Chain A
């Protein structure tokens, strides 16, 4: 931390003690996050036909590990992330490149890097790394700069290069999330609305061209999404069964462990992408609304923390990660309700899966870090200027 110490520090928040940091830690925010995880573990217990195995137990231990990561990350100095943002982004890009070259194939796509003991999913890491890099880039940008097209070329590349690599894997869901998160940040820092409209139009025009480059299974998914009843036993099966599971829960649900659709395996991937329907089936509209409200509050907290933060890096970091989280929620629930095609986006904090949980907790650690350091002033180049 020497690079800002040698400057003339006049602000008291440079060196917060652990105690001070803990005092600024947002415990209700953490509580809501843990609540969602516990709901998730209960659902995994049900999905395992009323058993801790094979999912709920593992998820619980992942939660404990992730919780440690969250706390550790929240206690770091925000300037550290500012300083190493590009480095982290670069490293993630290399990992992403490595996965295209040497990655393990799983579920029909190359997503994993196998390091012997642990497997890493670089696309998950990239979700944070890209936000870090963009937050760093836009931290010192003035509105005039943002409005110039030339200035916007590097951040566009920061988004598009990993998106291209991830599409290559192929992982449409993650790629879309990166694009939308990038758009969100561009929007926040003040890129003119007409540019978004222009890109939107261009995107619509290019859909048929892009569709041509999709893999067959992806094309099928999109087509099935448009008309799921056309093939109820084949590709439409997921969507139809998902809707049946959710809808059959009714207002009050069938009761915990009483879901027939999930317990009799009519629901594919019930422990991962479709876990929201297990909640809907067993706890009805009340249960699914409850979870949805918690999600909205968590997202709201992200907005508040970002709004309170006095430095742009923290603001943009918290917003980027919150947008990312919101996208998870919206895409997953939209998908299981039959509003979006099945693109393979898990329900955050609930779906079974280690990497996703760890990355999410890491991101929440960063948001907590922003919260703790909300009064910190960071200069245009990462130190204190002006």
Chain B
């Protein structure tokens, strides 16, 4: 019987060895796994543990203020109060929300948003219930706070534009940051109330204005509650910005534009400072502080006068007769015309087998260059342009800034189009024809320009041929430009005289809009540009009066000018879309603004004289 015992003991011993080997094998697998997790993947898991542990929360930096040239605030930050709700402070969410909506009604959409957010967020995370509380709402909440467990009032700030719609397109507006504005997963997206500039200097100077968000690194536990603060950097407020614009002139220009779809730019001719930049109709930039209601938005974007668009820099127009200033200057510079050289206008001229008409059917008779400008005679320019040639006209236009960006410190400026022989060959696959030159000579045809380019041209003629760059951000010291365009002062004087006659001599196209403020007068040039071709049939039937046409078929009214006549300081460009002609629509507006600008100058100088005493 010992044998079975011996056999069994042998078998067990054998099997124990097998089992021991098996256990060792399992142990090696587990040890290998430990190595893999802790050594080979250790860094990855350390990173994940760190991401678990550290929560970064940003705090909102106040955006820089924006002031006009006289220190009037154009954009600032307004303190707001918002009602917030913290779930863990109440045991009945619905009851609190019910009693809240008895005080301040919440519509169904808001209510569902709030409830959704409450259920999504952790119990101690606050949820915004109502933004921008009025004083009455705040006191109503404060009085009833015992019935509103979980509700509290929190301070925040929002952008505020005291000048409302008068400075919109110069200053711009801000709105909440969107995912497409920043790189993916930017922490800024989680910063409630973080806004970025959408137009005007708010957009172009965003970097300067925005400030740096504060960063609070906290250690959080598994429930997201912060356990201790690891790092706390306070937000750095954005820098303030001083603009060249004058809030008073902005207001005057906006009022002068009235209901028109207008672009108005007022420049300092010496420095290029933009004193007023208005594109009407405008909108109140404060609208974008909170989610904009759909109907308001639709109204803004469906308005045919395009209030959202800064037309002064982003829209292009045929400059029309104001381009005659350029053609005249080109002729004087090239020697093809002189001050005294006269040309006869019979009301039309024939070039090749094509008939070209003057706007005055009966003709102007004999005219020299200043008279041609005064009456805006088309035939005069048809004749001289053939002599000067397209190349010299284009070159002069380019010298004055046509066809290229003015360099204004705004986003979205267009370069517009200055046609040349080469341009036409490359883009239209056709040679430049004489008819093209004639069209160009009266500012029609392929040529177009932005209102800011027109203003720049006017300023450079007025300042005696110095190149300027229009700008909105005030420099520490604004010095008059000394950059010569290389134009003869005598020739510029002739052009200026012509522009003076337009306004101040009977028969001048802008004569009706003249002013004389203690001897200070203005100068300018009108233009009316057709938005559609006048057919031969219409010409035979007699041209309809502008008032008879639909608004969108009326001519654009354009005016460029400067003042005072004898010592130019301000240059202006006014474009009235479908205003029905420059003399009629644009000139009176320009006149009003220049007159006010001079009057304000006189007031302040008499004030400083008084103070000097």
Contacts and interface: CB of A to CB of B under 8 A. Distances in A.
Partners in one complex: yes
Given A296-B27, A337-B30, A188 B16 contact: yes
Place the interface of chain A in its size category. Answer: 35 or more
Given A247-B42, A264-B222, A292 B53 contact: no
Nearest to B220: A264
Nearest to A189: B12
Interface string A238-263: 00010111111111000000001100
Nearest to B34: A288
A187 B15 contact: yes
Interface in B6-55: 7-9, 11-13, 15-16, 18-20, 23, 26-27, 29-31, 33-35, 37-39, 41-46, 48-50, 52-53
Contacts of B222: 264-267
Nearest to B3: A142
Contact of A249 (B13, B29, B30, B42): B42
Name which of B2, B33, B45 has the most chain A CB atoms within 10 A of its CB: B45
Interface in B36-78: 37-39, 41-46, 48-50, 52-53
A285 B34 CA distance: 7
Contact of B45 (A187, A244, A333): A244
Contacts of A113: none
B19 A246 contact: no
Given A143-B4, A190-B15, A248 B30 contact: no
B1 interface: yes
Contacts of A296: 27
B101 interface: no
A261 B15 contact: no
A144 B33 CA distance: 41
A156 B20 CA distance: 23
B42 A303 contact: no
Given A143-B4, A292-B27, A284 B48 contact: no
Nearest to B24: A296
A249 B35 CA distance: 11
Contacts of A79: none
Contacts of A307: 13, 16
A143 B8 contact: yes
B46 A289 contact: no
A188 B12 contact: yes
B30 A251 contact: no
A264 B45 contact: no
Do most interface residues of chain B lie in helix, strand or loop, or is the interface mixed? helix
Nearest to A259: B49
Contacts of B16: 188, 303, 306-307, 319
A98 B509 CA distance: 113
Interface string A311-325: 010011001000100
B44 A247 contact: yes
Contacts, number: 137
A143 B11 contact: yes
Contact of B42 (A251, A260, A323, A330): A251
B49 A292 contact: no
B26 A292 contact: no
B23 A299 contact: yes
Contact of B41 (A247, A300, A339): A247
Contacts of A299: 23
B221 interface: yes
Contacts of A241: 52
A300 B33 CA distance: 21
A334 B12 contact: no
B219 interface: yes
A144 B41 CA distance: 51
Contacts of A261: 49, 52-53
B301 interface: no
Given A188-B15, A264-B221, A339 B52 contact: no
A285 B35 contact: yes
Interface in A110-166: 141-144
B297 to A, nearest CB: 37
**B27, B44, B49, B220: residue with the most chain A Cβ atoms closer than 10 Å:** B49
Nearest to B14: A190
Nearest to A139: B8
A243 B36 CA distance: 11
B223 interface: yes
Interface residues of B, number: 43
Contacts of A142: 4, 7-8
A2 B404 CA distance: 118
B227 interface: yes
A249 B8 contact: no
Interface in B435-483: none
B19 A247 contact: no
Interface in A289-311: 289, 292, 296, 299-300, 303, 306-307
Given A247-B42, A247-B46, A292 B30 contact: yes
A337 B30 CA distance: 8
Contacts of A319: 16, 19
A339 B30 contact: yes
A194 B579 CA distance: 102
A326 interface: yes
Contacts of A143: 4, 7-8, 11
Contact of B19 (A144, A184, A245, A265): A184
A264 B35 CA distance: 25
A74 B590 CA distance: 112
Interface in B200-251: 219-223, 227
A249 B37 CA distance: 9
A190 to B, nearest CB: 5
B53 A260 contact: yes
Nearest to A277: B37
A250 B37 CA distance: 8
A248 B23 contact: no
Nearest to A285: B38
B38 A187 contact: no
Contacts of B39: 250-251, 285
Contacts of A330: 23, 26-27, 30
A159 B48 CA distance: 44
B39 to A, nearest CB: 6
A292 B35 CA distance: 12
A271 to B, nearest CB: 15
A6 interface: no
A230 B105 CA distance: 42
A315 to B, nearest CB: 6
Q: Which of B12, B18, B37, B52 has the most CB of A within 10 A?
A: B37
A280 interface: yes
**Which of B8, B26, B43, B46 has its CB near the most chain A CB atoms (within 10 A)?**
B8
B42 to A, nearest CB: 4
A216 interface: no
Contacts of A188: 12, 15-16, 19
B38 A288 contact: yes
A248 B26 contact: no
Contacts of B48: 244, 247-248
B34 A292 contact: yes
The 3 residue pairs across chains A and B that have the minimum distance between CB atoms? A247-B45, A248-B49, A250-B42
Interface of B: 1-2, 4, 7-9, 11-13, 15-16, 18-20, 23, 26-27, 29-31, 33-35, 37-39, 41-46, 48-50, 52-53, 219-223, 227
Interface of A: 141-144, 184, 187-190, 241, 243-251, 260-261, 264-267, 280, 284-285, 288-289, 292, 296, 299-300, 303, 306-307, 312, 315-316, 319, 323, 326, 330, 333-334, 337-339, 386
Given A246-B34, A248-B49, A299-B23, 7 more contacts: A142-B8, A189-B8, A246-B38, A266-B53, A292-B27, A292-B34, A307-B13
28 contacts: A142-B7, A143-B7, A144-B4, A188-B16, A189-B11, A244-B48, A244-B52, A245-B45, A247-B48, A248-B48, A250-B38, A264-B219, A265-B221, A266-B49, A266-B53, A285-B34, A288-B38, A289-B34, A303-B16, A303-B19, A307-B13, A307-B16, A315-B12, A323-B19, A330-B27, A337-B30, A337-B33, A338-B37
